[in-house]
A and B are shown apart, each in its own frame.
Chain A
Amino acid sequence: MKMAGLEYCGARNIDGPLVFVDGIRNVAYDELVEVTAPNGELRLGQVLDVTSTSAVVQVFGGTDSLSPAGTRTRFLGSSLRIPVSKDMLGRIFDGLGRPKDGLPQLLRAERRDVNGLPVNPYSREYPRDFIQTGISAIDLMNTLVRGQKLPIFSGNGLPHNRIAAQIARQAKLLNEDVEFAIVFAAMGVKHDVARFFIDSFEHSGVLNNVAMFLSLADDPSVERLITPRSALTLAEHLAFDEGMHVLVLITDMSNYCESLREIATARGEIPSRKGYPGYLYSDLASLYERAGRLRGGAGSITQMPILTMPSDDISHPVPDLTGYITEGQIVLERDMFQRGIYPPVAGLPSLSRLMKDGIGKGRTRDDHPHVASQLFAAYSKVKDVRALASVIGEEELSPVDKLYVEFGRAFEHRVVAQGEYEDRSIEQTLALGWEVLRILPRAELLRVSEEELKQYYDQSQSTTTVLKS
């Protein structure tokens, strides 16, 4: 902010988060702007549209108390940059990367453009290292790999924060001890949510490896648009310059999208679905694609954005467009939650697309892909059988269908359900998978191979030990 240029007095119009300034010269698209309110308060903004003599400025701090006559603007010569450094771990910042923890600003750190640059697809490394989260529903059925972007689709009141915290606490790579960091970005969530995460990181003793960017519910809404970008800019530095493995938790993307909608409406843009701008997909992609690994680089960025689906509707534009960009999704189901199942991970709509390369021979266990596929197939049959049972009654089901009902119950209560502090190894999880499959007749299990059946199905090894641990 040292490259201050000319200061302009006055604005033509103020509309929502936007300030329209006339009589300017030599202003760049996307340039950072310092806006001074009549009372002397400084705010930052960004140029959204510029002509030879006028500019539209989006003010991150909001336009409260700005007046056309008393507003001054200074164009700062470059786009928004934030400092990046390993020293930012253990610290708390606002959405624009300014310290929020009372400690001093990092002065010597290099500054980076928050928008980043697109990664060249040629330079990417395909992610395939299995991350054990210790949560069976994820490890077994929707495996997370290092460098993946896997969101949690949740609903209001569902335990997405607890699940995210459990993943952050338990995630590890098998046989490897590497430097890791967590970058946490919160947009428009309440203080107690932020507090919950801070406490959770503190309890598990990782707080010194966490950098937080908080733009909470009572912070200006426009700042939320920059918050994830600041977080990802730091994450890119840690991963690609420092070679660390970074887990980025972003919550709540729905709030982010709402802020985007607010700006679009203020600019009078033609909306597409539900009032969201037509470029919502591209805008979300500019965040989600900032994940992955680079060829020849040591580090990685694994992204886990959280979003709450308005009225649990997965076809709402925010989850819908997210699903079109991310590499799968963990969907939480209200019905399972009401039945007391934690984590309430929906069996069928959840998906991890990078799972196929992260599991199986030499990664988890040879039979893993087939067990997962079999469980999916059987569980989907359970859904059909339950629907039938609700019509004709469970008593009237055929013997095989009755076994499916039993399997469904066991699958939900023994495989999916687990404790918030229960950290299962992949072997334990696979053993549980086989245990519930054994409820079904052998002839139903077509997705596992003959040899696997011999090894894991026929041999009725006792799994009680596994269950106890």
Chain B
Amino acid sequence: MPGETGKRNNNERLGEITRVNGPIVEARYMEHAGMLEVVEVGNLHLIGEVIRVRGNAVTIQVYENTSGVRPGEAVYCTTRPLSVRLGPGLLGTIYDGIQRPLDRIAAQSGAMIARGEKTDPLDTEKKWHFQPLATVGRQLQGGEPFGQVQETLSVMHKIMVPPGISGELLSIVAEGDYRGEETIAVLRDADGNERPLSMFQYWPVREPRPVRTRLQMAQPLLTGLRVIDTFFPIAKGGAAAIPGGFGTGKTMTQQALAKWSNAQIIVYIGCGERGNEMTEVLREFPELVDPRSGRSLMERTILIANTSNMPVAAREVSIYTGITLAEYYRDMGHDVAIMADSTSRWAEALRELSGRLEEMPADEGFPAYLPARLAGFYERAGRVETLQGNEGSVSIIGAVSPPGGYFSEPVTQHTSRFIRCFWALDRDLANARHYPAISWRNSYSEYLVEIAEWWKNHDHSWKNNRDVLMDILQEESSLQHIAKLVGPDALPDSQRLTLFTAEIIKNAFLQQNSFDEVDMYCSPEKQSWMMRLLVRFATQAQTIIQKGATLAEVHELPGLERLMRMKSEIKNDDTQAMAALEQQITTGLDGLERSIRA
């Protein structure tokens, strides 16, 4: 039951293991167990979940390594579905796929994760400063806040009535410091039952948290990456996929988004990927400062690490754990962004489990329900009106790792049906060290219309400038086909200028090195300005060439080299330097134009 701690009786032996096949365990005498119920398996009490019931026999997927488990050992029931524990203290923590806090696991069992470790996801001893927001006698609905806690300096944590519970507030504690599990309020529900509430609640991970309504997308999730923000923008509440072969930049892009996007909360899931990448986030984020709140990035981040060498079944559940935490913060009215790196590893976990269950495979061994599961996950993104009536959003950015880098495989294909923003990473760009290697030919964003609308109030020429730059890039693609046959020198100057400006757009605008101190993040204002400058250059230079100037003369324009370096030499807020460069470029262009006329 959501919102309630399930009863657990470890002494009650319920079932008996009959088969162990890797992470899949079969057991009998389990007539009391229900589908998707959490069980503890064997003498080590390994955590598992019932995934198939046949009479009194069940099949369990086990979230820990089953080495050494024997048929005949016991299976214990917990009578609750696989749930996460929600409450203050989530932020800044690193969890494994089933929400075990890895820092405390390390304190208990050392550098290697021992099996059967159990610890509470949230610190039950820590006291939080609780401020009540409701008074006795008030009628409270599920999802409504009755208090709040300053969880980190940048995030206010609303303490909400768990969805599904409502009633009259019988009592509430005074402002003060309380432990998460303490009863701080009591409701009387419609049946007259008293429902004690604490700062902590449970929610089953496979069940989306309810909302009042879903809303249209309206605002961009600004990421600080120019190629995304201008060419293929994502909306707050949107869903995007980043497919790409190994080493093309999925993780780097997701980390950049986790660092610089204007979400209030970030949930970063390392799903079947490298341990060191999580370590890197852990080491780096506390030291990075959020450009908006001025606080450490770790204060708004939750990490979920189920690395490739950790048990495969827990990998399957890790993305549900992540999305549930995201929804919880959304319900408080925050904009949450969730990065899942990589959804392909999650799909492979499904495939492996499905294979062990001897299910009929569909495409490339993946189970037939793969698309349904993908849809279920991406559908949990969205901009919503929460139960308490304010606005919140969950944006999902999922990395996809197609075998061989070919997008024609099932995970990429099915994913693209359920997302609306597709950032295709290109092997050739990555090999040429053009980062982010997001292809401007194969990527798309269906949020462009909504986001162009938003920009109208901030930079009215945004859409136009974007389209001009995009057109130049498209034209360049087709010109390249000819240039590759005859050599660029055989083209007329006006076409060679297109090649030249496209080169500038690629180098000076699209490329963005994540290790560059300045350019790793580009503010929306600077992006607008850079676009304007490039469009100005491109259009006026074209006019001048039409009027008879030579390409060589354009090459000689003063300030061109500075234009090429503006992304890293001009700081995000250095409007003076921007104005100076703009001045230099326009003067140069005007001068050249006058000299032609003369």
A: residues with CB less than 8 A from B are 26-31, 48-52, 78-79, 113, 115-127, 240, 269-273, 278-279, 281-282, 285-286, 289-290, 292, 294-295, 297, 315-317, 320-321, 323-325, 327-329, 348-349, 351, 353-354, 356, 369, 373, 376-377, 380, 387-388, 391-392, 396-398, 443, 446
Contacts and interface: CB of A to CB of B under 8 A. Distances in A.
Contacts of B68: 28-31, 78-79
A151 B167 CA distance: 61
Contacts of A388: 483-484, 487
Contact of A289 (B280, B308, B312): B308
A49 B19 contact: yes
Interface centre among A51, A286, A329 (most CB of B within 10 A): A51
A279 to B, nearest CB: 5
A282 to B, nearest CB: 5
A220 to B, nearest CB: 22
B572 to A, nearest CB: 19
Please give me the 10 A-B residue pairs with the lowest Cβ-Cβ distance, nearest first: A285-B308, A315-B404, A380-B432, A323-B246, A117-B112, A29-B20, A289-B309, A30-B67, A123-B111, A348-B431
A392 B111 contact: no
B513 A373 contact: yes
20 contacts: A28-B68, A29-B67, A30-B66, A31-B68, A50-B21, A51-B18, A51-B19, A52-B18, A52-B72, A115-B65, A117-B112, A118-B310, A119-B112, A120-B105, A122-B282, A126-B280, A270-B365, A271-B365, A289-B308, A356-B515
B405 A285 contact: no
Given A29-B68, A320-B403, A285 B355 contact: no
Contacts of B365: 270-272, 278
Interface string B269-310: 010101110111011000000000000000000000101111
A352 B226 CA distance: 25
B308 A119 contact: no
Contact of A285 (B309, B351, B364): B309
A280 B403 CA distance: 12
A467 B113 CA distance: 50
A212 B30 CA distance: 49
B433 A376 contact: yes
Interface in B513-541: 513, 515
A27 B70 contact: yes
B470 to A, nearest CB: 22
A391 B484 contact: yes
A279 B352 CA distance: 6
A354 B483 CA distance: 37
Contacts of A351: 247
B94 interface: yes
Interface centre among A26, A270, A321, A354 (most CB of B within 10 A): A270
Interface in B323-378: 345, 348, 351-352, 355, 361, 364-365
Contact of B270 (A121, A377, A397): A121
Contacts of B432: 348, 376-377, 380
Contact of B282 (A121, A278, A373): A121
Given A78-B68, A126-B279, A278-B348, A272 B364 contact: yes
Given A29-B66, A380-B433, A120 B309 contact: no
Given A27-B71, A120-B105, A354-B276, 14 more contacts: A26-B72, A29-B67, A29-B68, A48-B21, A51-B18, A117-B112, A118-B309, A119-B309, A123-B110, A279-B312, A297-B111, A316-B404, A320-B246, A321-B403
A351 B274 CA distance: 16
Contacts of A320: 245-246, 403-405
A286 B113 contact: no
Contacts of A325: 274, 308
Contacts of A321: 403
A270 B112 contact: no
B71 to A, nearest CB: 4
B136 interface: no
Given A126-B283, A286-B309, A292-B275, A120 B106 contact: yes
B431 A353 contact: no
Interface in B1-29: 18-22, 26
Contacts of A48: 21
A124 B309 CA distance: 14
B456 interface: no
A124 B276 contact: yes
Contacts of A30: 66-68
A387 B564 CA distance: 26
A52 B18 CA distance: 5
A27 B69 CA distance: 8
Contact of B247 (A52, A282, A353, A380): A353
Contact of A398 (B66, B305, B352, B489): B489
Contact of A121 (B21, B102, B312, B513): B102
B379 to A, nearest CB: 26
Given A278-B365, A325-B308, A353-B247, A121 B278 contact: yes
Contact of B246 (A271, A324, A376, A396): A324
Contacts of B312: 279, 282
B565 interface: yes
B174 interface: no
B401 A121 contact: no
Nearest to A125: B279
B103 interface: yes
Contacts of A50: 19-21, 70-71
Contacts of B115: 117
A29 B115 CA distance: 15
B112 A324 contact: no
B403 A317 contact: yes
A294 B71 contact: no
Contact of B485 (A269, A377, A380, A391): A391
A122 B106 contact: yes
Contacts of A315: 245, 403-406
A295 B489 CA distance: 57
B321 to A, nearest CB: 15
A123 B115 CA distance: 16
Contacts of B309: 118-119, 282, 285-286, 289-290
A329 B112 CA distance: 27
Given A122-B282, A282-B352, A397-B487, A115 B67 contact: yes
B276 A373 contact: no
Given A50-B20, A380-B432, A289 B275 contact: yes
A126 B281 CA distance: 10
B247 A289 contact: no
Given A122-B94, A126-B280, A270 B488 contact: no
Contacts of B590: none
A216 B110 CA distance: 36
Contacts of B94: 121-122
A126 B486 CA distance: 49
A2 B515 CA distance: 56
Contacts of B246: 320, 323-324
A137 to B, nearest CB: 15
Contacts of A324: 246, 401
B139 interface: no
B561 interface: yes
A122 B406 CA distance: 33
Contacts of B183: none
A118 B433 contact: no
A371 B403 CA distance: 32
A49 B484 contact: no
B314 to A, nearest CB: 10
A257 to B, nearest CB: 14
A49 B21 contact: yes
Contacts of A281: 272, 308, 345, 348
B507 interface: yes
A118 B307 contact: yes
A101 B401 CA distance: 44
Contact of A278 (B19, B66, B355, B488): B355
